[in-house]
Structures are given as C-alpha cells and as structure tokens.
Structure 1
Amino acid sequence: MVMEALLAHIVVMKYGYQLPLYRQKQMFAAQRITLDRQTMASWMGRAARWLKPLHTLLRDAVMSYLRLFADETPLPVLDPGRGRTKVCQFWAIATDDRPWRGPAPPAVVYMLAE
C-alpha cells in the first residue's frame, strides 16, 4: 500500500504539477530519502501501462459525444538511437456540454501521434 501511495504521489507531482523527476529526486534527498531518477522513470512507464485501460475508456467516452473541441500541438520527442528529437503531434480533445445544457460531463483526453 505504501508503494502504491508513493507511485501515485510521484505521478501526480510530475503530471499534475509539472514537477520533473530530477526535482523530485532533489526534494526526496532533502528529506534524506535516496531515490534514483531512473527508477522513478521506470515507474512512470509502469504506471502508464497500468492506466492504459482507463485512458482507452476515457478516449472512447469523449469521442462518442456530439460536440468535440480539439487542439493539435507539435511536440519534440526524444528519438532513441538517432541522438536527436523528432516532431510528433500532441492532441487534446475535449467535450463540455454545459453551455448547451447537454448531458455530457466536461472531459478531456490527450493523445500523441508519432
């Protein structure tokens, strides 16, 4: 249970509060907790795999609504093996029926197209 709480904390701090792993490592070190950044990065990958079914469910729900709003942003992504970055497309697709008094709750799903 403690491990899951630690993982949830690290994920929320990274993605919810935009706190990079190297900064989190520094914060843990200030509390005399040794936590390797590569270990935390590995945990991020594991958390992403665990959350994939939830992402799929959210994506399917958002895409089923009549009114969608989308934003496409070019995003540089590391390209391992080539020693540089490549440009991918990052999509935010949202729905919010409140202004039209519709049934859909506000929701947003994020997708990356390589």
Structure 2
Amino acid sequence: IEQLELALEDLQLALAEANDPSPAAEEGPDTEAQAPEPAEPQETKRRRPKVSKDTPRERRTYDPGENCPDCGGDLRVIGEDVSELIDMIAAQLKVIEIARIKKSCRRCEKIVQVPAPSRPIPRSMAGPNLLAYVLVSKFDDHVPLYRQNEIFARMGADIADTTLVDWCGGAMKALAPLIERIEAEIMASDLLHADDTPIRVLDRS
C-alpha cells in the first residue's frame, strides 16, 4: 500500500506540474484582488494548508509612506489587506561553548569551579537536541545515517557515519530506562498490535 501511495504521489506531482494550478485557493481572501471566473469545475477540491495555533507568527507591514506618490498630499489609513504566507526556517547547527571559570580563594587558596554540565552521552559533543534530531530522522522519518551525513555537510559540519552510529548507540543506552518502562506498559495490555510493513532501503554495497 505504501508503494502504491508513493506512485500515486508521483502521478499527482506530474499532474500538478502540467496543470500549473493557481495558488489562489491556498491564500486567504484578498479584498484587492478580484476572484477569477471558474473555467471548469474541478473534480477534487484543494484544501487550504493549516498550521497549529502555536506556530510562531511574524507580521511584516508594507507602508506606502506618508505622502501620495502622485500629488504629494498627506495619506491617511483607511484599512489594510492581510494575507498569509507559510515559510520554513531551516534547521541550523549551533556550537555551544561551555566556559567554566576557575577562581581561587584569597584566604585558603582553594580552587573553586562549577562542575561541568551533564551530557546525554559522556565525553560526546552531541547535544540533546541534536541527538533527538538524529534519532527521529533515522527511526521515524527513515533517513539513513549516510544521508544525514550529507545533510549535515550542507550545514557546514563533517559528522562521520561511524560517529552517528556511536551517537545512536549511546542515545539508546541513555534511553534504556524509558524504553523498559514503555515496554512494560505495552506488554501489560491484553491486546497488542504489530505493524510488519517492510521498509525498502538502499543497499550501499
């Protein structure tokens, strides 16, 4: 079924490219633009994209200025036309530099320093957010580690496949108590559901 869905999606993409559908159905109502006359009734209605109410919003205001461009008279606000655009803020890597200041006591000469913060994987450079990204990409989105290596390379980071493998293993070890708790809850149920749908992967050999 999943393979048929992928084939159907490819056909839909080809049809959309050939038809060049107007994006008017996706945009909100615009008082300035006139609605085009429907040429032919479409078989499928295009659903307007929806985002969560918690999605961050940014307002960009385009003001024509204070004076009329034709006569130079003063302009007054009579309303505004508002439309929405869904945009994507690409993921980016960030290097967090952890600086632990050393101080010495003037009286007893004791060295005082704050302990280093704990890490999900001891002696590893992977932060918790990066590990979550790698695990979700691999096990939920089915993005192989070698492809993640290519994605990180486009971000300007060289993270070897073997390092990603070590990170996954270390993260699974750190999550072992949670995994055991979930397994206990699932096995305690009277009814279990298993999905044995195979996932095709590329054999690099």
Structure 1 position 61 matched with structure 2 position 205: no
1:58 partner letter: I
The TM-score with structure 2 as length reference comes to: 0.33
Please state how far the C-alpha of 1:72 moved relative to its aligned partner: 6.5
Aligned counterparts of 2:138 and 2:195: Cα–Cα separation in 1: 22
Aligned counterparts of 2:179 and 2:142: Cα–Cα separation in 1: 19
Structure 1 position 14 matched with structure 2 position 138: yes
Q: Based on CA coordinates, which of the two structures has the bigger radius of gyration?
A: 2
Aligned counterparts of 2:135 and 2:195: Cα–Cα separation in 1: 24
C-alpha distance 32-70 of structure 1, shift in aligned 2 (>3 A): closer
Deviations 1:33-82 (A, max 9, x none): 11111111000000111111111111111111222234678xxxxxxxxx
Q: In structure 1, which of residues 19, 27, 35 is the aligned counterpart of residue 151 of structure 2?
A: 27
Aligned counterparts of 1:69 and 1:5: Cα–Cα separation in 2: 30
Partner of 2:172: 48
- SS of match in other structure, 1:14: helix
Deviations 1:64-103 (A, max 9, x none): 1222234678xxxxxxxxxxxxxxxxxxxxxxxxxxxxxx
Structure 2 unaligned segments of length 5 or more: list them.
1-95, 97-125, 198-205
Equivalent pairs counted in the alignment come to: 74
Partner of 1:4: 128
Q: CA RMSD in A?
A: 2.2
Aligned counterparts of 1:72 and 1:13: Cα–Cα separation in 2: 20
Aligned counterparts of 1:19 and 1:31: Cα–Cα separation in 2: 16
2:128 partner letter: E
Structure 1 unaligned segments of length 5 or more: list them.
74-114
Identity %: 33
Partner of 1:112: none
Aligned counterparts of 1:70 and 1:12: Cα–Cα separation in 2: 20
- SS of match in other structure, 1:69: coil
Name the one with the larger helix percent.
1
- SS of match in other structure, 2:191: coil
Aligned counterparts of 1:70 and 1:21: Cα–Cα separation in 2: 25
Name the one with the larger strand percent.
1
Structure scoring higher RCO (CA < 8 A, sep ≥ 6) equals 1
